[in-house]
Structure 1
Amino acid sequence: MMTKVKTNAKSFLLIILGSLVFAAGINLIVIPNQLSEGGVTGISIITYYYFKWSPGITNLVLNILLMFVGYRLLDKRTMLYTIVGVVFCSLFLYLIPTDHAPFTEDTLLAAIFAGLLVGIGIGLVFSGGGTTGGAAIIVRLMEKYLGWGLGNAMLIVDLIVIFASSFMIGLEKTMYTMIAVYLGARMVDYIVEGFNSKRAITIISTEAGRISAGITGQLQRGATILHGQGAFTKQEKNVLYVVLQKQEIMDLKELVQEIDPEAFIVIHEVHEVLGKGFSIVK
């Protein structure tokens, strides 16, 4: 009996929109400015430079081969969304023209906007629950059979492809490509995790009660009081733990400084917060 895979229209729309933005970044900026890209898309670009093969067709063929090899590594819903992402990315790469003059002769500016567009596109696809195929499957295979971490494997795959493209586009354009790839990766983080990043703050103070009251009263945020002990002094201390929006950090610092100038504050960047007052899992 075949199990039904749950899907939703929003995911499909995000994947299709992301595929369009991604393909626009490749065909309108990357290729006209003789830049490259990592992963399977980078291989498609290399074959375009060498043989004038359509990036869309090459991308589709390579991803079909990879999905055939690695289909067991992805759950059914992710595989379905990956197929949608691969098909629409390839379709838009095929439809959007590449044989036009670049919008700018400034290679650095082109690299920046290429990274932004490609990153936004991939981020939207990821937000929809899919992937753009290729590299994600290669990385999963490397993790399974070579024991490599996902981040290191992705970096190595991208660097190998970018290095291979350097023989065609030259060292200078390769360095610009690395800028674009880096910016794209950061943009993916922003899209997936949200521009309005959160901060987790740990406060160690003898005035934890007053500070907690200020946080709940003035900042309108909740706080948790943990009980701790100094490792050296053996003195009992209360530890406050609170999560705030980035823009609220300055207000918290002023509040703590006003109540206890000797308080010890540690601020951590967090990638996602679920719960009342933040994101809610539906």
Structure 2
Amino acid sequence: MTKRHYRFIELFYIVTGSFLTAAGIALFATPAKIASGGVSGIATILYHTLGFDTGLVILVLSVPLFVLGVVIFGKEFGIKSLSGTVLLSLFTSLLNQIFGYGGVLDYTNVLSVLLSAIFGGVIMGIGCGLVLKSGANTGGTDIVAQILARFTPLSLGSSLFLVDTVIIVASGFFFGLESALYATITLYIMGAVIDKVVLSFGTRSAKTVFIISEKREIIQKAILEQLGHGGTILSGSGMFTGSDRPVIMTVVMNHKLAQLTNIVHKTDNRAFMVVQEAYQVLGEGFTPIEEAAWAGLSDVTQQQDKN
């Protein structure tokens, strides 16, 4: 595949993904008062409380956050992420103008809220997954989570969970407990769909990645700063040359693999990557080791009880 084809596919993912995400927000989430985290959740709350256009709020909140991300993480933080943010804002406002702010379902029927939670989550999950597959993101509170992970003991996953939880709790305050519960359903569905879209093969939630590159230092810095992940440098040597070839080993969640691949491709298109299923990942940023240990102990106890 040529670089031109690669760029075209990348652009297709960003544009299509931004449009689908906007459709989920404008046609399902906002009309149903479902604020499932992120800047779009804040935009939904502000629309129903103050009447602000959701697309405009997404832009107004996301661009300063993007600038803050560039200041903290450097200019390589990604112009594509800004593109995703701007497109999401424009598409959301456009769909609001075409369909109005009432969505496509009849909300006098209480079942419509549940349908919005489900189908809105699916559509937004597909959209966000396509954007992430391009190596970009739609910015917003993801940047806040990255900053929290950078300057606090919290992992990136914990930071994302914390930010989304605050927004969902706020939605419960403004719209009621039922709305917050629907938002939780949407958030869960989005996460599951994003994993399926970003990585259409495999059944695990994380991947072990080995990277061999002449530009190892640049890649490992990007893994630390852009992905918020760590890793290990393994000793190695080339079979033909006999020279030292250090190997980066890192574990990333499925939805981060496309971004990592994009980083490696841009840094060194002659790099060598090996991607493997991670059956279980224990430690910071993933499942706590003590939690898995207690689960294993419980399984053993149950088996002893049966015997």
Deviations 1:185-238 (A, max 9, x none): 111111111155479xxxxxxxxxxxxxxxxxxxxxxxxxxxxxxxxxxxxxxx
**Counterpart residue identity of residue 176, structure 1:** Y
Tell me how far 1:99 sits from its aligned partner: 2.1
Change (3 A) 1:11 1:77: farther
* Corresponding position of 1:100: 102
Tell me how far 1:46 sits from its aligned partner: 0.9
Tell me how far 1:77 sits from its aligned partner: 5.5
Change (3 A) 1:73 1:192: farther
* Corresponding position of 1:205: none
* Corresponding position of 1:68: 67
Check whether the contact 2:40–2:58 (CA below 8 A) recurs between aligned residues.
yes
**Larger-Rg structure:** 1
Change (3 A) 1:99 1:51: same
* Corresponding position of 1:258: none
- Unmatched segments (≥5 aa) in structure 2: 1-5, 206-276, 282-307
* Corresponding position of 2:33: 34
Tell me, yes or no, if structure 1 residue 80 matches structure 2 residue 79: yes
Check whether the contact 1:40–1:134 (CA below 8 A) recurs between aligned residues.
yes
Aligned alpha-carbon RMSD (Å): 2.3
Check whether the contact 1:40–1:62 (CA below 8 A) recurs between aligned residues.
yes
For residues 1-282 of structure 1, the aligned pairs below 5 Å read: 8-74=7-73, 76=75, 78-97=77-96, 98-100=100-102, 102-103=104-105, 105=109, 106=111, 107-195=113-201, 197=203, 269=279
Please give the alpha-carbon distance, in whole angstroms, between the structure 1 residues aligned to 2:119 and 2:135: 24
Check whether the contact 1:78–1:129 (CA below 8 A) recurs between aligned residues.
no
Change (3 A) 1:197 1:101: closer
* Corresponding position of 2:219: none
Tell me how far 1:116 sits from its aligned partner: 0.4
Tell me how far 1:59 sits from its aligned partner: 0.7
Check whether the contact 1:12–1:81 (CA below 8 A) recurs between aligned residues.
no
Tell me how far 1:268 sits from its aligned partner: 6.6
**Counterpart residue identity of residue 128, structure 1:** S
Change (3 A) 1:101 1:153: closer
* Corresponding position of 1:225: none
Check whether the contact 1:63–1:134 (CA below 8 A) recurs between aligned residues.
yes
Please give the alpha-carbon distance, in whole angstroms, between the structure 1 residues aligned to 2:90 and 2:169: 27
Deviations 1:98-143 (A, max 9, x none): 4235425312222111110111110000001110101221011101
**Counterpart residue identity of residue 121, structure 1:** G
- Unmatched segments (≥5 aa) in structure 1: 1-6, 200-266, 272-282
User: What SS does the corresponding residue of 2:78 show, helix, strand or coil?
Assistant: helix
* Corresponding position of 1:214: none
Change (3 A) 1:139 1:101: closer
Change (3 A) 1:125 1:270: farther
**Counterpart residue identity of residue 8, structure 1:** R
Tell me how far 1:73 sits from its aligned partner: 4.7
Please give the alpha-carbon distance, in whole angstroms, between the structure 1 residues aligned to 2:167 and 2:95: 23
Please give the alpha-carbon distance, in whole angstroms, between the structure 1 residues aligned to 2:154 and 2:87: 30
Please give the alpha-carbon distance, in whole angstroms, between the structure 1 residues aligned to 2:280 and 2:93: 39
TM-score, reference length from structure 2: 0.60
Tell me how far 1:31 sits from its aligned partner: 1.5
**Counterpart residue identity of residue 102, structure 2:** H
Check whether the contact 1:12–1:128 (CA below 8 A) recurs between aligned residues.
yes
Change (3 A) 1:123 1:73: farther
Tell me how far 1:13 sits from its aligned partner: 1.3
TM-score, reference length from structure 1: 0.65
Q: Percent identity?
A: 32
User: What SS does the corresponding residue of 2:176 show, helix, strand or coil?
Assistant: helix
Please give the alpha-carbon distance, in whole angstroms, between the structure 2 residues aligned to 1:39 and 1:28: 17
Number of matched pairs: 198
Please give the alpha-carbon distance, in whole angstroms, between the structure 2 residues aligned to 1:76 and 1:55: 28
Which deviates further from its counterpart, 138-147 or 71-80?
71-80
Please give the alpha-carbon distance, in whole angstroms, between the structure 1 residues aligned to 2:77 and 2:134: 10
Please give the alpha-carbon distance, in whole angstroms, between the structure 1 residues aligned to 2:202 and 2:173: 40
Change (3 A) 1:32 1:91: same
